[in-house]
Structure 1
Amino acid sequence: MPTLTTSGRAPRPRPAPGRVLRNTVLVVTSLIWALPTWLLLVNALVPAADYSGEPHWWPQGFGLFDNISQAWTQAELGPAMGNSLLYAVTSATAAILVATMAAFATVIMPVKRKTLWFWLIYSGTLLPLQVFLRPLFLAYAGTGLYDAQFGLFLVYVAIAVPFAYFIMRNFALTLAPEIIEAARMDGASWWRIFWQIHVPLSWSAMVAAFVFQFVAVWNDLLFGITLSTSSNIRPVMAALAELQGNYSSVGPPVVLGGALLVSLPTVVLFFSAQRFFVSSLRLHG
């Protein structure tokens, strides 16, 4: 029987040392992870005219909207964000569709050498992207794809497919094979099984893969500055990098204000998709 205190209530159990240590590590790790974001916000708030050249750790005035306005005008962020939105949505959608088809073929359909097909497709993620820059630049310059939206679209689809395939293949491995066997016994074709059974069951994984690839394409800088030069073609990170090279004219607070602005679409997409993930888990649970 538990010992009662003078107030007649049982004393609260002390937290285990392991739990306290775990919570402390989580809090410290979270603070370290949030530190760059804090510095971004604080220095983006500083009016450009009042910036002394040293980073601020605490808010010094409020010039965020003026900084964003200057970044929007001087870097032409409006057209650049439109370009990145076009690239991210179309290339991520195409990559997810291709990856879902590949996962269906190598997991659900009776094909030979499934492991070999997996490594052939997934190997696209094993090499650093920098090794593709020079050959792509030379090939694009000789074929007319340089500084063209379709050229960037092709690159983004190509680099997005391997990781999207990794996600979709792992998800396809968790699906019950009895569903496909029953559909085949009823005379359904592979094409019908893919669109009417596999895609609806894989919808949550497709959304997760889409979010990953959208963020990757939106944040791309290497291919944007290598394969485009025109303001109506270049993605938003290339435009922001050009603004960052003009410290003497705009100042770091303007650059940080622009960086804060261009990060908003990915943040909004992430939280919107997070709600979808929860609803999908409840639906399939």
Structure 2
Amino acid sequence: MTMSLGRVLRNTVIAVLALLWLVPTWLLVVNALVPAGSYSGSPHWLPRDFGLFGNMSQAWDKANLGPALGNSLLYSVVSAAAAAVIAGFAAFATIIMPVKRQALWFWVIYSGTLLPLQVFIRPLFLSYAHTSLYDTQTGLVLIYTAIAVPFAFFVMRNYALTLPREVVEAARMDGASWWRVFWQIHVPLTRSAMIAVFVFQFVAVWNDLMFGITMVTSRNIRPVMAALADLQGNYSNVGPPIVLAGALLVSLPTVVLFFSAQRFFVSSLKIHR
């Protein structure tokens, strides 16, 4: 009886939390469907007319989302991939290789997640202004890669702790170099974790707005979230349905990526026994 009551309470809590998460998504989708010309100014709770494609088309044209989507794709893919590889190297060095003070290296790298990102804006702005990295794609890629590494390292390190050490020891006894061990043994064993890290960081970089509006001024370099913010600011007369349709449009790549890599994401959460 106690177990049954606990299960009912747990399922109820999960259902309530799921409902709270779905309500904003439902409102976004329903109001993005409303034709911009017939929007009354009050949020709609139920779908009526269908004007989603027209709203998306206006958002695409007025905010110039095409180049912005290409920029965000570049930033997200390159930064997430680089962060996954760097984190993989760091996890291999601090867990598999006989490195001294492993705990110290963990905190040195992981401490990058302990500070709010806002504290980095001023030093980054000043340093970028003196090195000509401000308002460049290279500058944004470097920023996104740097802020992605600490959390990626945290995931990769915890995953590496579950790997069997006997495989590495056997390879070392057979004369394999650390470089060969990393690429031929460690990377295949941690592939699912690296893909999960890539998905995490891809979504984080794709959804970034702060660095996209503070470290970039050119429209041909800005990421997609900065373009969407510009749509809401400079083109506020287009109405909420167009802005919401643009938000729905730019969120599609992250949704597709997550569901495509879902099995790798789930398998990375399982502990090897």
The residue aligned with 2:205 is 217
Q: Which amino acid aligns with 2:245?
A: G
How far residue 60 of structure 1 moved from its aligned partner, in angstroms, is 3.0
Partners of 2:193 and 2:264 within 8 A in 1: no
1:234 equivalent among 222, 233, 237? 222
The 5-angstrom pairing of residues 28-67 of structure 1 reads 28-67=16-55
Distance 1:249 1:134 in 2: 33
Q: Structure 1 residues 46 and 246, CA, compared in 2 at 3 Å: closer, same or farther?
A: farther
Q: Structure 1 residues 155 and 277, CA, compared in 2 at 3 Å: closer, same or farther?
A: closer
Between 1:264-273 and 1:53-62, the stretch displaced more is 53-62
Return 5+ residue gaps in structure 2 as ranges: none
How far residue 54 of structure 1 moved from its aligned partner, in angstroms, is 1.6
How far residue 50 of structure 1 moved from its aligned partner, in angstroms, is 1.2
How far residue 53 of structure 1 moved from its aligned partner, in angstroms, is 1.6
Distance 1:172 1:38 in 2: 39
Q: Which amino acid aligns with 1:68?
A: M
Q: Work out the number of aligned pairs and report it.
A: 271
TM-score by length of 1: 0.91
The residue aligned with 1:274 is 262
Give the alignment's Cα RMSD to 1 decimal.
1.8
Distance 2:115 2:265 in 1: 30
Distance 1:175 1:101 in 2: 15
Distance 1:186 1:231 in 2: 55
1:99 equivalent among 87, 92, 102? 87
Distance 1:136 1:204 in 2: 33
Partners of 2:73 and 2:206 within 8 A in 1: yes
Q: Which amino acid aligns with 1:124?
A: G
Q: Which amino acid aligns with 1:251?
A: G
1:242 aligned counterpart, secondary structure? helix
Q: Which amino acid aligns with 2:60?
A: W
The residue aligned with 1:139 is 127
Distance 2:268 2:41 in 1: 48
List per-residue Cα deviations over 1:111-167 (Å, max 9, x = no partner): 100000000000000000111111111211221111100000000000000000000
The residue aligned with 1:162 is 150
2:261 aligned counterpart, secondary structure? helix
How far residue 275 of structure 1 moved from its aligned partner, in angstroms, is 3.2
Structure 1 position 262 matched with structure 2 position 250:
yes
Name the larger-Rg structure. Answer: 1
How far residue 51 of structure 1 moved from its aligned partner, in angstroms, is 1.3
1:188 equivalent among 161, 176, 179? 176
Q: Which amino acid aligns with 2:68?
A: A
Identity of aligned residues (%): 75
Q: Structure 1 residues 279 and 44, CA, compared in 2 at 3 Å: closer, same or farther?
A: same
How far residue 16 of structure 1 moved from its aligned partner, in angstroms, is 2.5
Partners of 2:192 and 2:267 within 8 A in 1: no
Distance 1:209 1:234 in 2: 24
Over 4 Å off, 4+ runs: 277-282
1:230 aligned counterpart, secondary structure? coil
How far residue 280 of structure 1 moved from its aligned partner, in angstroms, is 8.0
TM-score by length of 2: 0.95
The residue aligned with 1:3 is none
Return 5+ residue gaps in structure 1 as ranges: 1-12
Q: Structure 1 residues 158 and 281, CA, compared in 2 at 3 Å: closer, same or farther?
A: closer
Between 1:238-247 and 1:30-39, the stretch displaced more is 238-247
How far residue 281 of structure 1 moved from its aligned partner, in angstroms, is 9.0
Q: Structure 1 residues 44 and 100, CA, compared in 2 at 3 Å: closer, same or farther?
A: same
The residue aligned with 1:171 is 159
The residue aligned with 1:124 is 112
